[in-house]
Structures are given as structure tokens and as C-alpha cells.
């Protein structure tokens, strides 16, 4: 992965999660409607709490962009990739379980797919040392 692509990936994932998380935090129903998904009427506090988590993953991604842009030691960006991949993988497993059990609507698959693609990119990239080659 070249450096420009790495920075673009970090900005894309970081911004999408930061904005989604912030919106879930402050305007949960609007955000869910924009995402095309629904939640029970009494779940606003929990949706906001999920927003705080999504926001933190997004900020970690933006921090990763900062690290790449400033040519920080490769171990630092590898740590960001590893930890955000763990978080995203947990989300994918949880959402797939809930969708298959009929506990949430199938529209949530879009979130699982986005996070799943990120997990695959980061897992393959860590295994193949893409980050070392991007410096």
C-alpha cells in the first residue's frame, strides 16, 4: 500500500466513524434514519452510548492518519490498525448474530459489511506489512 492510499484510507474510515459516532451521540433518530435502520423507541440512551463507541473508533482512525502524515514510527500505526480491527470485528460478529437471530433488521448488514471490509484490509495489511512499505 502506498503512503497516499494509506492516508486516504485512514481519513475515510476515521471521518466516517467520527461523523457517524458524533451524530449517533447527539441525534440518534436522525442518524439511524439516514442509515436506513431502526431501533426501538425507548433505546435512545443506548444508541447514544453506541455513538460514543463509534466516535472513539473514528478518532483512533483520524489519529492513524495523523501518524502516517507525520511519518511516526510504524509500530504506532500498526497498533491503531490492530486495536480498531479488534473493535470492528466485535461489531461484525455481534451484528451478524443479531441479524441471523432476527433480533435486528437486515438493513444493519451495511454496517457489518463496512466494518468487515475494514477488518480484512487491516488484517491482510498487517500480515503483509503494508504499513512498513508505505513509509
Looking at the predicted structure, is the pLDDT value of residue 135 above 80? no
The pLDDT-based confidence of 9 (bands split at 50, 70, 90) is: very high
Looking at the predicted structure, is the pLDDT value of residue 1 above 90? no
* The Cα angle at residue 28 between residues 48 and 9, in degrees rounded to 5: 80
Looking at the predicted structure, is the pLDDT value of residue 24 above 90? yes
Domain extent, residue 61, equals 3-134
The answer to whether the CB of 91 falls within 8 A of the CB of 111 is yes
The answer to whether the CB of 115 falls within 8 A of the CB of 94 is no
Looking at the structure of the chain, the number of domains it has is 1
Q: What is the pTM of this model?
A: 0.92
Tell me, what's the pLDDT at 41?
83
Give the range among 32-41, 79-88, 100-109, 122-131 with minimum mean pLDDT: 32-41
Q: Average pLDDT in the 2-18 region? A: 95
Helices (H), ranges, the chain:
3-26, 28-35, 44-69, 74-100, 109-128, 130-134
Find cell 503483509 and name the residue.
128
Amino acid at each position: 500500500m502506498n503512503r497516499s492510499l494509506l492516508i486516504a484510507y485512514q481519513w475515510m474510515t476515521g471521518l466516517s466513524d467520527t461523523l457517524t459516532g458524533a451524530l449517533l451521540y447527539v441525534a440518534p433518530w436522525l442518524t439511524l434514519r439516514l442509515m436506513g435502520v431502526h431501533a426501538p423507541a425507548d433505546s435512545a440512551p443506548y444508541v447514544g452510548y453506541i455513538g460514543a463507541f463509534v466516535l472513539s473508533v473514528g478518532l483512533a482512525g483520524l489519529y492513524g492518519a495523523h501518524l502516517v502524515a507525520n511519518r511516526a514510527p510504524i509500530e504506532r500505526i500498526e497498533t491503531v490498525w490492530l486495536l480498531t480491527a479488534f473493535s470492528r470485528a466485535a461489531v461484525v460478529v455481534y451484528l451478524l448474530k443479531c441479524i441471523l437471530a432476527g433480533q435486528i433488521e437486515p438493513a444493519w448488514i451495511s454496517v457489518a459489511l463496512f466494518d468487515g471490509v475494514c477488518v480484512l484490509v487491516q488484517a491482510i495489511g498487517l500480515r503483509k506489512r503494508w504499513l512498513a512499505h508505505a513509509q
